[in-house]
Amino acid sequence: MENLDEVYNELIMEHSMNSYNKHKLDHADRCEKGHNPSCGDEIELELKLNGNIIEDIAFTGSGCAISQSSTSIMADVLRGKTIAEAKEITKTFIEMIKREITDEKELEKLEEAIAFKNVANMPARVKCALLAWHTLEKMI
Amino acid sequence: MNSEEIKKDFPIFKNRDITYLDSGATAQRPQCVIDAIDKFYENKNANPHRGAYELSIEATEAYENTRDKVAKFINAAHKEEVIFTKNASEALNLIAYSYGLDNLNEGDKVVISIMEHHSNLVPWQFVTKKTGSKLEYMYINENYELSEEEIKSKITENTKIVGITHVSNVLGTINNIKEIIKYAHKMGAVVIADVSQSIPHMKIDVQDLDCDFLAFSGHKMLAPLGIGVLYGKKKILNNMNPFLMGGDMIEYVYEDKTTFAPLPNKFEAGTQNVEGAVGLGAAIDYIEKIGYDTIENIEKDILSYAKSELSKLDFVETYYTPNKENHSSVISFNIKGIHPHDLATILDSEKVAIRAGDHCAQPLIRYLNLPATCRASFYMYNTKEDVDKLINALKKAYNMFAKFIK
Ligand SMILES: Cc1ncc(COP(=O)(O)O)c(C=O)c1O
Ligand SMILES: [Zn+2]
Protein backbone atom coordinates (compact mmCIF):
# COMPACT_ATOMS: atom_id res chain seq x y z
CA MET A 1 0.00 0.00 0.00
CA GLU A 2 1.52 3.24 -1.19
CA ASN A 3 -0.29 6.04 0.57
CA LEU A 4 -0.47 5.06 4.20
CA ASP A 5 -0.21 8.65 5.36
CA GLU A 6 -3.32 9.52 3.39
CA VAL A 7 -5.27 7.01 5.44
CA TYR A 8 -3.70 7.64 8.80
CA ASN A 9 -3.94 11.41 8.37
CA GLU A 10 -4.26 14.10 11.05
CA LEU A 11 -8.03 14.22 10.92
CA ILE A 12 -8.53 10.49 11.23
CA MET A 13 -5.94 10.15 13.96
CA GLU A 14 -7.36 12.99 16.02
CA HIS A 15 -10.86 11.59 15.78
CA SER A 16 -9.75 8.07 16.60
CA MET A 17 -7.73 8.97 19.66
CA ASN A 18 -9.36 12.03 21.13
CA SER A 19 -12.92 12.21 19.94
CA TYR A 20 -15.30 14.68 21.54
CA ASN A 21 -18.15 12.59 20.08
CA LYS A 22 -17.27 9.65 22.26
CA HIS A 23 -19.70 9.79 25.15
CA LYS A 24 -23.22 8.83 26.15
CA LEU A 25 -26.18 11.08 25.27
CA ASP A 26 -28.43 12.19 28.12
CA HIS A 27 -31.72 11.44 26.42
CA ALA A 28 -31.08 9.30 23.37
CA ASP A 29 -34.07 8.41 21.19
CA ARG A 30 -32.39 5.55 19.40
CA CYS A 31 -29.49 3.29 20.24
CA GLU A 32 -27.84 0.56 18.22
CA LYS A 33 -24.76 -1.64 18.61
CA GLY A 34 -22.43 -2.58 15.82
CA HIS A 35 -19.48 -4.90 15.82
CA ASN A 36 -16.87 -6.32 13.55
CA PRO A 37 -15.82 -9.76 14.78
CA SER A 38 -12.83 -9.97 12.45
CA CYS A 39 -11.25 -6.88 13.99
CA GLY A 40 -12.88 -6.76 17.38
CA ASP A 41 -14.30 -3.30 16.65
CA GLU A 42 -17.32 -2.42 18.75
CA ILE A 43 -19.46 0.69 18.79
CA GLU A 44 -22.71 1.78 20.33
CA LEU A 45 -24.36 4.63 18.45
CA GLU A 46 -26.90 6.97 20.03
CA LEU A 47 -29.20 9.39 18.22
CA LYS A 48 -31.26 12.26 19.50
CA LEU A 49 -33.98 13.29 17.08
CA ASN A 50 -36.02 16.45 16.79
CA GLY A 51 -38.80 15.67 14.35
CA ASN A 52 -36.97 14.49 11.27
CA ILE A 53 -33.73 16.24 12.21
CA ILE A 54 -30.79 14.46 13.78
CA GLU A 55 -30.19 16.80 16.67
CA ASP A 56 -27.25 14.92 18.13
CA ILE A 57 -25.14 11.79 17.62
CA ALA A 58 -22.63 10.28 19.99
CA PHE A 59 -20.96 6.90 20.41
CA THR A 60 -19.03 4.72 22.78
CA GLY A 61 -16.88 1.74 21.96
CA SER A 62 -13.42 0.53 21.14
CA GLY A 63 -11.57 -0.68 18.13
CA CYS A 64 -9.13 0.26 15.42
CA ALA A 65 -8.39 3.85 14.41
CA ILE A 66 -10.39 3.53 11.22
CA SER A 67 -13.59 2.25 12.83
CA GLN A 68 -13.48 4.72 15.69
CA SER A 69 -12.63 7.78 13.60
CA SER A 70 -15.17 6.85 10.96
CA THR A 71 -17.84 6.79 13.67
CA SER A 72 -16.74 10.10 15.10
CA ILE A 73 -16.51 11.88 11.75
CA MET A 74 -19.90 10.48 10.77
CA ALA A 75 -21.32 12.06 13.91
CA ASP A 76 -19.87 15.44 12.93
CA VAL A 77 -21.15 15.22 9.38
CA LEU A 78 -24.68 14.07 10.17
CA ARG A 79 -25.40 16.27 13.18
CA GLY A 80 -28.13 18.75 12.19
CA LYS A 81 -29.03 16.91 8.99
CA THR A 82 -32.50 15.59 8.18
CA ILE A 83 -33.03 11.85 8.12
CA ALA A 84 -33.41 11.97 4.34
CA GLU A 85 -30.09 13.81 4.00
CA ALA A 86 -28.40 11.36 6.37
CA LYS A 87 -29.66 8.43 4.30
CA GLU A 88 -28.30 10.00 1.15
CA ILE A 89 -24.89 10.74 2.70
CA THR A 90 -24.68 7.23 4.14
CA LYS A 91 -25.43 5.72 0.76
CA THR A 92 -22.74 7.84 -0.88
CA PHE A 93 -20.17 6.97 1.79
CA ILE A 94 -20.78 3.25 1.36
CA GLU A 95 -20.54 3.59 -2.41
CA MET A 96 -17.29 5.52 -2.08
CA ILE A 97 -15.72 2.77 0.03
CA LYS A 98 -16.99 0.11 -2.36
CA ARG A 99 -15.64 2.09 -5.30
CA GLU A 100 -19.03 2.43 -6.91
CA ILE A 101 -18.90 6.20 -7.37
CA THR A 102 -18.29 7.41 -10.89
CA ASP A 103 -18.98 11.10 -10.45
CA GLU A 104 -16.39 12.51 -8.03
CA LYS A 105 -18.64 15.53 -7.50
CA GLU A 106 -21.02 13.38 -5.51
CA LEU A 107 -18.36 13.02 -2.83
CA GLU A 108 -18.70 16.67 -1.89
CA LYS A 109 -21.74 15.96 0.23
CA LEU A 110 -19.61 13.73 2.44
CA GLU A 111 -17.78 16.77 3.86
CA GLU A 112 -14.98 15.55 6.16
CA ALA A 113 -15.93 11.91 5.70
CA ILE A 114 -14.22 12.10 2.33
CA ALA A 115 -11.03 11.52 4.34
CA PHE A 116 -11.75 7.79 4.15
CA LYS A 117 -11.59 7.66 0.39
CA ASN A 118 -8.32 5.74 0.35
CA VAL A 119 -9.72 2.98 2.53
CA ALA A 120 -11.32 1.80 -0.70
CA ASN A 121 -7.84 0.60 -1.65
CA MET A 122 -7.45 -1.44 1.53
CA PRO A 123 -9.71 -4.49 1.29
CA ALA A 124 -8.71 -5.66 4.75
CA ARG A 125 -10.02 -2.44 6.30
CA VAL A 126 -13.21 -1.74 4.37
CA LYS A 127 -15.34 -3.28 7.12
CA CYS A 128 -13.76 -0.98 9.68
CA ALA A 129 -14.68 2.17 7.77
CA LEU A 130 -18.21 0.97 7.11
CA LEU A 131 -19.11 -0.23 10.61
CA ALA A 132 -20.59 3.05 11.85
CA TRP A 133 -22.48 3.70 8.65
CA HIS A 134 -24.00 0.24 8.46
CA THR A 135 -25.01 0.56 12.09
CA LEU A 136 -26.65 3.91 11.39
CA GLU A 137 -28.54 2.45 8.43
CA LYS A 138 -30.40 0.23 10.88
CA MET A 139 -31.44 3.26 12.95
CA ILE A 140 -32.89 5.61 10.35
CA MET B 1 22.15 -25.56 7.46
CA ASN B 2 21.16 -22.11 8.59
CA SER B 3 17.97 -20.20 7.89
CA GLU B 4 19.54 -18.14 5.07
CA GLU B 5 20.32 -21.36 3.21
CA ILE B 6 16.94 -22.88 3.96
CA LYS B 7 15.19 -19.76 2.71
CA LYS B 8 16.66 -20.37 -0.75
CA ASP B 9 14.59 -23.55 -1.02
CA PHE B 10 11.38 -21.51 -0.87
CA PRO B 11 10.52 -19.90 -4.22
CA ILE B 12 8.07 -17.40 -2.75
CA PHE B 13 10.96 -15.53 -1.18
CA LYS B 14 12.51 -15.07 -4.61
CA ASN B 15 9.24 -14.00 -6.16
CA ARG B 16 7.95 -11.71 -3.45
CA ASP B 17 9.63 -9.06 -1.37
CA ILE B 18 8.15 -10.05 1.94
CA THR B 19 9.14 -10.48 5.56
CA TYR B 20 6.92 -13.42 6.32
CA LEU B 21 6.16 -13.74 10.02
CA ASP B 22 2.87 -15.58 9.80
CA SER B 23 3.92 -19.22 9.55
CA GLY B 24 1.68 -19.97 12.51
CA ALA B 25 -1.23 -19.34 10.13
CA THR B 26 0.32 -21.25 7.26
CA ALA B 27 3.91 -22.00 6.32
CA GLN B 28 5.46 -21.37 2.93
CA ARG B 29 6.27 -24.33 0.68
CA PRO B 30 9.73 -25.46 -0.43
CA GLN B 31 10.33 -26.14 -4.13
CA CYS B 32 10.44 -29.92 -3.54
CA VAL B 33 6.85 -29.92 -2.26
CA ILE B 34 5.62 -27.91 -5.22
CA ASP B 35 7.53 -30.21 -7.60
CA ALA B 36 6.15 -33.36 -6.00
CA ILE B 37 2.60 -32.16 -6.67
CA ASP B 38 3.43 -31.28 -10.28
CA LYS B 39 5.05 -34.67 -10.83
CA PHE B 40 2.02 -36.44 -9.44
CA TYR B 41 -0.27 -34.73 -11.93
CA GLU B 42 2.18 -35.16 -14.77
CA ASN B 43 2.74 -38.87 -14.20
CA LYS B 44 0.36 -40.53 -11.80
CA ASN B 45 -3.02 -38.85 -11.65
CA ALA B 46 -6.04 -41.13 -11.47
CA ASN B 47 -8.76 -41.82 -8.92
CA PRO B 48 -7.14 -43.85 -6.14
CA HIS B 49 -8.75 -47.08 -4.96
CA ARG B 50 -11.14 -47.09 -7.90
CA GLY B 51 -9.32 -48.35 -10.95
CA ALA B 52 -8.02 -51.79 -11.87
CA TYR B 53 -5.50 -50.23 -14.22
CA GLU B 54 -1.88 -49.37 -13.60
CA LEU B 55 -2.31 -45.62 -13.38
CA SER B 56 -4.95 -45.85 -10.66
CA ILE B 57 -2.82 -48.34 -8.78
CA GLU B 58 0.09 -45.92 -8.89
CA ALA B 59 -2.10 -43.07 -7.67
CA THR B 60 -3.25 -45.32 -4.82
CA GLU B 61 0.38 -46.14 -4.02
CA ALA B 62 1.35 -42.49 -3.99
CA TYR B 63 -1.44 -41.82 -1.51
CA GLU B 64 -0.73 -44.84 0.68
CA ASN B 65 3.02 -44.18 0.68
CA THR B 66 2.35 -40.95 2.50
CA ARG B 67 0.27 -42.81 5.04
CA ASP B 68 3.28 -45.03 5.74
CA LYS B 69 5.48 -41.98 5.92
CA VAL B 70 3.19 -40.18 8.35
CA ALA B 71 2.90 -43.30 10.50
CA LYS B 72 6.71 -43.49 10.78
CA PHE B 73 7.01 -39.74 11.21
CA ILE B 74 4.75 -39.69 14.29
CA ASN B 75 5.76 -43.23 15.31
CA ALA B 76 2.28 -44.74 15.09
CA ALA B 77 2.18 -48.45 15.87
CA HIS B 78 -0.05 -49.19 12.87
CA LYS B 79 -0.33 -47.38 9.57
CA GLU B 80 -4.14 -47.62 9.60
CA GLU B 81 -4.14 -45.41 12.67
CA VAL B 82 -3.36 -42.53 10.31
CA ILE B 83 -6.50 -41.02 8.76
CA PHE B 84 -6.28 -38.27 6.19
CA THR B 85 -8.57 -35.29 6.62
CA LYS B 86 -8.88 -31.85 5.11
CA ASN B 87 -7.15 -30.16 8.02
CA ALA B 88 -6.86 -30.21 11.80
CA SER B 89 -10.35 -28.76 12.13
CA GLU B 90 -11.89 -31.68 10.28
CA ALA B 91 -9.87 -34.16 12.32
CA LEU B 92 -11.06 -32.57 15.56
CA ASN B 93 -14.66 -32.48 14.37
CA LEU B 94 -14.40 -36.14 13.41
CA ILE B 95 -13.41 -36.97 16.98
CA ALA B 96 -16.15 -34.80 18.46
CA TYR B 97 -18.89 -36.30 16.29
CA SER B 98 -17.79 -39.92 16.01
CA TYR B 99 -16.34 -40.36 19.48
CA GLY B 100 -17.77 -37.53 21.59
CA LEU B 101 -21.45 -37.83 20.67
CA ASP B 102 -21.47 -41.58 21.30
CA ASN B 103 -19.41 -41.70 24.47
CA LEU B 104 -20.57 -38.77 26.57
CA ASN B 105 -23.46 -38.92 28.99
CA GLU B 106 -25.10 -36.60 31.46
CA GLY B 107 -22.75 -35.95 34.35
CA ASP B 108 -19.63 -36.51 32.25
CA LYS B 109 -17.08 -33.78 31.72
CA VAL B 110 -15.02 -32.67 28.76
CA VAL B 111 -11.99 -30.68 29.88
CA ILE B 112 -10.06 -28.43 27.52
CA SER B 113 -7.67 -25.55 28.06
CA ILE B 114 -8.54 -21.88 27.67
CA MET B 115 -5.75 -21.78 25.06
CA GLU B 116 -7.59 -23.96 22.55
CA HIS B 117 -8.08 -22.88 18.97
CA HIS B 118 -11.79 -22.57 18.12
CA SER B 119 -11.47 -25.85 16.22
CA ASN B 120 -10.78 -27.74 19.46
CA LEU B 121 -13.35 -25.72 21.40
CA VAL B 122 -16.52 -25.05 19.42
CA PRO B 123 -17.08 -28.75 18.55
CA TRP B 124 -16.90 -29.55 22.28
CA GLN B 125 -19.45 -26.89 23.12
CA PHE B 126 -21.75 -28.48 20.57
CA VAL B 127 -21.17 -32.05 21.70
CA THR B 128 -21.44 -31.36 25.43
CA LYS B 129 -24.70 -29.47 24.92
CA LYS B 130 -26.07 -32.29 22.76
CA THR B 131 -25.15 -34.99 25.26
CA GLY B 132 -25.95 -33.10 28.45
CA SER B 133 -22.35 -33.36 29.58
CA LYS B 134 -20.30 -30.46 30.85
CA LEU B 135 -17.46 -28.45 29.29
CA GLU B 136 -14.80 -27.19 31.68
CA TYR B 137 -11.69 -25.12 31.07
CA MET B 138 -8.20 -25.31 32.48
CA TYR B 139 -7.02 -21.71 32.89
CA ILE B 140 -3.51 -20.32 32.56
CA ASN B 141 -1.52 -18.64 35.30
CA GLU B 142 0.44 -15.37 35.25
CA ASN B 143 3.18 -17.11 33.25
CA TYR B 144 0.66 -18.04 30.55
CA GLU B 145 1.07 -21.68 31.54
CA LEU B 146 -1.18 -24.40 32.92
CA SER B 147 -0.15 -25.20 36.47
CA GLU B 148 -0.15 -28.74 37.77
CA GLU B 149 -2.76 -27.79 40.40
CA GLU B 150 -5.04 -26.39 37.72
CA ILE B 151 -4.73 -29.55 35.64
CA LYS B 152 -5.39 -31.79 38.63
CA SER B 153 -8.30 -29.75 39.88
CA LYS B 154 -10.11 -29.88 36.53
CA ILE B 155 -9.36 -33.39 35.27
CA THR B 156 -11.30 -35.58 37.69
CA GLU B 157 -12.99 -38.99 37.81
CA ASN B 158 -15.99 -37.93 35.75
CA THR B 159 -13.80 -36.43 33.01
CA LYS B 160 -14.26 -38.55 29.90
CA ILE B 161 -12.41 -36.46 27.33
CA VAL B 162 -9.49 -34.05 27.58
CA GLY B 163 -8.62 -31.81 24.64
CA ILE B 164 -5.32 -30.01 24.79
CA THR B 165 -3.20 -28.05 22.37
CA HIS B 166 0.49 -28.91 22.48
CA VAL B 167 1.54 -25.37 21.64
CA SER B 168 -0.72 -22.33 21.96
CA ASN B 169 -1.09 -20.51 18.65
CA VAL B 170 -1.42 -17.19 20.52
CA LEU B 171 1.06 -17.48 23.38
CA GLY B 172 3.56 -20.02 22.09
CA THR B 173 3.29 -21.83 25.42
CA ILE B 174 4.38 -25.47 25.15
CA ASN B 175 2.07 -27.54 27.31
CA ASN B 176 3.45 -30.59 29.03
CA ILE B 177 1.00 -32.84 27.25
CA LYS B 178 2.81 -36.04 28.18
CA GLU B 179 2.12 -35.37 31.85
CA ILE B 180 -1.45 -34.26 31.15
CA ILE B 181 -2.08 -37.46 29.18
CA LYS B 182 -0.63 -39.59 31.95
CA TYR B 183 -2.78 -37.93 34.56
CA ALA B 184 -5.93 -37.99 32.42
CA HIS B 185 -5.46 -41.70 31.80
CA LYS B 186 -5.21 -42.24 35.51
CA MET B 187 -8.60 -40.54 35.80
CA GLY B 188 -9.98 -42.70 33.00
CA ALA B 189 -10.25 -40.04 30.29
CA VAL B 190 -9.16 -40.20 26.68
CA VAL B 191 -6.94 -37.39 25.46
CA ILE B 192 -6.88 -35.49 22.19
CA ALA B 193 -3.63 -33.70 21.47
CA ASP B 194 -3.82 -30.85 18.97
CA VAL B 195 -0.29 -30.71 17.60
CA SER B 196 -1.03 -28.24 14.78
CA GLN B 197 1.40 -25.69 16.20
CA SER B 198 4.02 -28.11 17.48
CA ILE B 199 4.62 -30.66 14.74
CA PRO B 200 6.15 -28.05 12.38
CA HIS B 201 8.79 -27.40 15.03
CA MET B 202 9.37 -30.48 17.17
CA LYS B 203 9.41 -34.26 17.00
CA ILE B 204 6.08 -35.88 17.84
CA ASP B 205 5.96 -39.49 18.99
CA VAL B 206 2.42 -40.73 19.57
CA GLN B 207 3.53 -43.87 21.40
CA ASP B 208 5.77 -41.94 23.72
CA LEU B 209 3.01 -39.39 24.37
CA ASP B 210 0.45 -42.19 24.60
CA CYS B 211 -2.27 -39.84 23.31
CA ASP B 212 -5.53 -41.46 22.23
CA PHE B 213 -6.12 -39.02 19.39
CA LEU B 214 -3.93 -36.44 17.72
CA ALA B 215 -4.65 -33.89 15.01
CA PHE B 216 -2.69 -31.58 12.77
CA SER B 217 -2.82 -29.73 9.45
CA GLY B 218 -0.25 -30.26 6.74
CA HIS B 219 -0.17 -26.64 5.66
CA LYS B 220 1.57 -25.39 8.81
CA MET B 221 4.40 -27.88 8.21
CA LEU B 222 5.26 -26.99 4.59
CA ALA B 223 2.65 -29.28 2.96
CA PRO B 224 -0.15 -28.07 0.67
CA LEU B 225 -3.42 -26.61 1.85
CA GLY B 226 -6.27 -29.07 2.25
CA ILE B 227 -4.56 -32.08 3.80
CA GLY B 228 -4.57 -32.91 7.49
CA VAL B 229 -4.07 -35.89 9.72
CA LEU B 230 -6.06 -37.58 12.42
CA TYR B 231 -4.21 -40.17 14.44
CA GLY B 232 -6.21 -42.44 16.72
CA LYS B 233 -5.43 -45.60 18.63
CA LYS B 234 -6.61 -48.54 16.56
CA LYS B 235 -8.80 -50.01 19.28
CA ILE B 236 -10.68 -46.75 19.72
CA LEU B 237 -11.04 -46.00 16.00
CA ASN B 238 -12.34 -49.50 15.35
CA ASN B 239 -15.16 -48.97 17.82
CA MET B 240 -16.22 -45.61 16.42
CA ASN B 241 -18.93 -44.87 13.90
CA PRO B 242 -17.88 -43.25 10.64
CA PHE B 243 -17.99 -39.46 10.37
CA LEU B 244 -18.68 -38.88 6.67
CA MET B 245 -20.34 -41.56 4.61
CA GLY B 246 -20.38 -42.42 0.95
CA GLY B 247 -17.97 -43.87 -1.55
CA ASP B 248 -14.81 -45.78 -0.61
CA MET B 249 -15.66 -46.08 3.07
CA ILE B 250 -18.01 -49.04 2.71
CA GLU B 251 -17.79 -52.80 2.35
CA TYR B 252 -21.29 -53.86 1.28
CA VAL B 253 -24.21 -51.56 0.67
CA TYR B 254 -27.72 -52.97 0.57
CA GLU B 255 -30.89 -51.01 0.09
CA ASP B 256 -31.45 -50.83 3.82
CA LYS B 257 -28.06 -51.31 5.43
CA THR B 258 -24.33 -50.95 4.96
CA THR B 259 -21.21 -52.50 6.38
CA PHE B 260 -18.22 -50.27 6.60
CA ALA B 261 -14.70 -50.72 5.34
CA PRO B 262 -11.94 -51.42 7.86
CA LEU B 263 -9.54 -48.71 8.99
CA PRO B 264 -8.39 -46.35 7.63
CA ASN B 265 -10.91 -46.25 4.76
CA LYS B 266 -13.86 -46.20 7.16
CA PHE B 267 -13.00 -42.57 7.89
CA GLU B 268 -12.07 -41.50 4.37
CA ALA B 269 -15.27 -41.06 2.41
CA GLY B 270 -15.14 -39.94 -1.19
CA THR B 271 -12.28 -39.23 -3.54
CA GLN B 272 -9.35 -38.17 -1.44
CA ASN B 273 -6.82 -35.36 -1.76
CA VAL B 274 -3.99 -37.37 -3.29
CA GLU B 275 -2.14 -34.25 -4.40
CA GLY B 276 -2.22 -33.07 -0.79
CA ALA B 277 -0.99 -36.39 0.53
CA VAL B 278 1.84 -36.47 -2.00
CA GLY B 279 2.80 -32.92 -1.00
CA LEU B 280 2.66 -33.88 2.66
CA GLY B 281 4.98 -36.78 1.96
CA ALA B 282 7.45 -34.42 0.31
CA ALA B 283 7.16 -32.01 3.23
CA ILE B 284 7.98 -34.80 5.69
CA ASP B 285 11.00 -35.75 3.57
CA TYR B 286 12.14 -32.13 3.62
CA ILE B 287 11.72 -31.75 7.38
CA GLU B 288 13.62 -34.98 7.94
CA LYS B 289 16.36 -33.86 5.58
CA ILE B 290 16.82 -30.61 7.50
CA GLY B 291 16.28 -32.41 10.81
CA TYR B 292 14.29 -31.33 13.84
CA ASP B 293 17.54 -30.67 15.72
CA THR B 294 18.55 -28.06 13.17
CA ILE B 295 15.04 -26.60 13.03
CA GLU B 296 14.93 -26.31 16.81
CA ASN B 297 18.35 -24.66 16.95
CA ILE B 298 17.47 -22.12 14.28
CA GLU B 299 14.18 -21.29 15.94
CA LYS B 300 15.66 -21.07 19.40
CA ASP B 301 18.13 -18.49 18.13
CA ILE B 302 15.61 -16.47 16.22
CA LEU B 303 13.08 -16.51 19.04
CA SER B 304 15.54 -15.33 21.64
CA TYR B 305 16.86 -12.66 19.28
CA ALA B 306 13.32 -11.45 18.59
CA LYS B 307 12.49 -11.37 22.29
CA SER B 308 15.59 -9.44 23.15
CA GLU B 309 15.03 -6.90 20.35
CA LEU B 310 11.36 -6.47 21.27
CA SER B 311 12.25 -5.96 24.92
CA LYS B 312 14.31 -2.91 23.87
CA LEU B 313 11.15 -1.20 22.61
CA ASP B 314 9.53 0.22 25.71
CA PHE B 315 6.26 0.86 23.86
CA VAL B 316 5.79 -2.83 23.08
CA GLU B 317 3.92 -5.16 25.41
CA THR B 318 4.53 -8.91 24.95
CA TYR B 319 2.66 -11.99 26.18
CA TYR B 320 4.79 -15.09 26.61
CA THR B 321 6.06 -17.30 29.37
CA PRO B 322 9.33 -16.32 31.07
CA ASN B 323 10.29 -20.02 31.04
CA LYS B 324 12.32 -20.22 27.86
CA GLU B 325 12.08 -23.98 27.56
CA ASN B 326 8.27 -23.76 27.47
CA HIS B 327 8.09 -21.26 24.62
CA SER B 328 7.87 -22.04 20.91
CA SER B 329 8.02 -19.88 17.77
CA VAL B 330 5.13 -17.49 18.44
CA ILE B 331 5.21 -14.02 19.99
CA SER B 332 2.05 -12.07 20.65
CA PHE B 333 2.43 -8.37 21.33
CA ASN B 334 0.75 -4.98 21.26
CA ILE B 335 1.87 -1.39 21.06
CA LYS B 336 0.11 0.60 23.74
CA GLY B 337 -2.34 2.96 22.11
CA ILE B 338 -2.33 1.33 18.68
CA HIS B 339 -5.01 -1.17 17.79
CA PRO B 340 -3.52 -4.43 16.45
CA HIS B 341 -5.31 -4.09 13.12
CA ASP B 342 -3.89 -0.64 12.52
CA LEU B 343 -0.47 -1.95 13.44
CA ALA B 344 -0.81 -4.85 11.00
CA THR B 345 -1.79 -2.39 8.26
CA ILE B 346 1.27 -0.25 8.91
CA LEU B 347 3.57 -3.28 9.06
CA ASP B 348 2.05 -4.46 5.78
CA SER B 349 3.05 -1.18 4.18
CA GLU B 350 6.61 -2.12 5.18
CA LYS B 351 6.06 -5.59 3.68
CA VAL B 352 6.12 -7.24 7.07
CA ALA B 353 3.38 -9.87 7.30
CA ILE B 354 2.08 -10.57 10.77
CA ARG B 355 -1.36 -11.56 11.97
CA ALA B 356 -3.60 -9.35 14.07
CA GLY B 357 -6.86 -10.24 15.74
CA ASP B 358 -8.19 -12.97 17.98
CA HIS B 359 -6.27 -15.79 16.24
CA CYS B 360 -9.32 -18.07 16.40
CA ALA B 361 -9.01 -18.09 20.19
CA GLN B 362 -11.59 -15.58 21.40
CA PRO B 363 -12.08 -17.10 24.87
CA LEU B 364 -8.33 -16.82 25.47
CA ILE B 365 -8.12 -13.22 24.25
CA ARG B 366 -11.08 -12.36 26.47
CA TYR B 367 -9.46 -14.15 29.41
CA LEU B 368 -6.30 -12.10 28.85
CA ASN B 369 -8.52 -9.02 28.85
CA LEU B 370 -7.12 -7.78 25.54
CA PRO B 371 -9.01 -6.47 22.51
CA ALA B 372 -6.78 -8.51 20.19
CA THR B 373 -3.07 -9.11 19.69
CA CYS B 374 -0.49 -8.88 16.97
CA ARG B 375 1.33 -12.13 16.41
CA ALA B 376 4.70 -12.77 14.83
CA SER B 377 5.37 -16.45 14.25
CA PHE B 378 8.63 -17.92 13.07
CA TYR B 379 9.78 -20.91 11.11
CA MET B 380 13.02 -22.46 9.93
CA TYR B 381 13.42 -19.97 7.07
CA ASN B 382 13.19 -16.82 9.20
CA THR B 383 16.39 -14.88 9.67
CA LYS B 384 17.62 -12.20 12.04
CA GLU B 385 17.15 -9.78 9.18
CA ASP B 386 13.43 -10.62 9.27
CA VAL B 387 13.37 -9.70 12.94
CA ASP B 388 15.22 -6.44 12.24
CA LYS B 389 12.62 -5.52 9.64
CA LEU B 390 9.85 -6.20 12.12
CA ILE B 391 11.53 -4.03 14.72
CA ASN B 392 12.04 -1.15 12.28
CA ALA B 393 8.45 -1.35 11.12
CA LEU B 394 7.26 -1.27 14.72
CA LYS B 395 9.31 1.86 15.35
CA LYS B 396 7.79 3.49 12.31
CA ALA B 397 4.27 2.62 13.45
CA TYR B 398 4.92 3.95 16.91
CA ASN B 399 6.26 7.23 15.54
CA MET B 400 3.24 7.65 13.31
CA PHE B 401 0.88 7.27 16.23
CA ALA B 402 2.93 8.70 19.09
CA LYS B 403 2.14 12.34 18.42
CA PHE B 404 -1.58 11.64 18.74
CA ILE B 405 -1.44 9.49 21.88
CA LYS B 406 -2.46 11.81 24.68
C1 LIG C 1 -3.51 -24.88 17.60
C2 LIG C 1 -4.32 -24.96 16.35
N3 LIG C 1 -5.26 -25.89 16.23
C4 LIG C 1 -6.01 -26.02 15.12
C5 LIG C 1 -5.85 -25.18 14.06
C6 LIG C 1 -6.76 -25.33 12.88
O7 LIG C 1 -6.08 -25.61 11.73
P8 LIG C 1 -6.85 -25.60 10.34
O9 LIG C 1 -7.43 -24.24 10.18
O10 LIG C 1 -5.81 -25.91 9.34
O11 LIG C 1 -7.90 -26.66 10.43
C12 LIG C 1 -4.88 -24.18 14.13
C13 LIG C 1 -4.66 -23.26 12.99
O14 LIG C 1 -4.80 -22.10 12.98
C15 LIG C 1 -4.11 -24.07 15.31
O16 LIG C 1 -3.19 -23.10 15.43
ZN1 LIG D 1 -11.16 -2.35 12.47
d(CA B102, CA A119): 50
Chain-chain contact of B371 with A13 (C-beta, under 8 angstroms): no
Residues in A touching B341 (Cβ below 8 Å): 39-40, 64, 66, 124-125, 128
Q: Where are the beta strands (DSSP E) in B131-249?
A: 134-138, 159-165, 190-194, 213-217, 228-232
Q: How far apart are CA B402 and CA B380, in angstroms?
A: 34
- In ligand 1, the atom with minimum distance to the C-alpha of B25 is 14
Domain assignment of residue A101, given as a range: 4-139
3-class SS letters over B243-260: CCCCCCCEEEECCCCEEE
Residues A43, A27 contacting (CB under 8 angstroms): no
- Return the percentage of chain B with pLDDT > 90, whole number: 95
Chain B: residue nearest A15 by CA? B404
pLDDT, mean over chain B: 97
Beta carbons of A124 and B345 less than 8 Å apart: yes
pLDDT for position B404? 83
Q: Is B259 left (phi over 0), alpha (psi -120 to 50) or beta?
A: beta
For position A6, what pLDDT does the model report? Answer: 81
Tens-place pLDDT, residues A1-15 = 557 888 898 899 999
How many angstroms separate the alpha carbon of residue B351 from the centre of ligand 2? 20
- Residue B158 pLDDT: 97
Burial of A59: CB neighbours in 10 Å, binned 0-12, 13-18, 19+: buried
Ordered domains of chain B (ranges, CATH): 3-26+291-398 (3.90.1150.10), 33-288 (3.40.640.10)
Beta carbons of B339 and A18 less than 8 Å apart: no
Q: Is the CB of B217 under 6 A from ligand 1?
A: yes
The conformation of residue B326, written as its DSSP 8-state character, comes to G
CA distance A45 to A32: 5
Q: Complex ipTM, two decimals? A: 0.90
Spatial separation of the C-alpha atoms in residues B344 and B372, rounded to whole Å: 12
pTM exceeding 0.90: yes
Domain harbouring A72, CATH code = 3.90.1010.10
B88 lines ligand 1 (CB under 6 A): yes
Q: Which residues pair with B333 in a beta bridge?
A: B318, B374
Give the max Cα distance, chain B: 74
| Rounded-to-integer distance, Cα A22 and Cα A16, Å | 10
**What pLDDT is stored for residue B368 in this prediction?**
96
Domain total in chain A: 1
Contact B397, B338 (CB under 8 A): yes
What whole-number percentage of chain B has pLDDT above 70? Answer: 100
Q: How are beta strands B213-217 and B190-194 bridged, if at all?
A: parallel
Q: Which of A17, A62, A125 sits opposite B345 (nearest CB)?
A: A125
Asked whether residue B174 carries a pLDDT value surpassing 60, the answer given is: yes
> Quick count: other Cβ atoms within 10 Å of Cβ A14?
16
Binning pLDDT at 50, 70 and 90, where does residue A77 land?
very high
Interface test with A, best of B342, B364, B405 (most A CBs within 10 A): B342
SS3 of residue B311 by DSSP? helix
- The neighbour count for residue B5, using CB atoms within 10 Å, is 10
Residue B256 phi, psi dihedral angles, 5° rounding:
-120, -5
DSSP string, chain A: ---HHHHS-HHHHHHHHS-TTBS--TT-SEEEEEEETTTTEEEEEEEEEETTEEEEEEEEEE--HHHHHHHHHHHHHHTT-BHHHHHHHHHHHHHHHTT----GGGGGGGGGGGGGGGGGG-GGGHHHHHHHHHHHHTT-
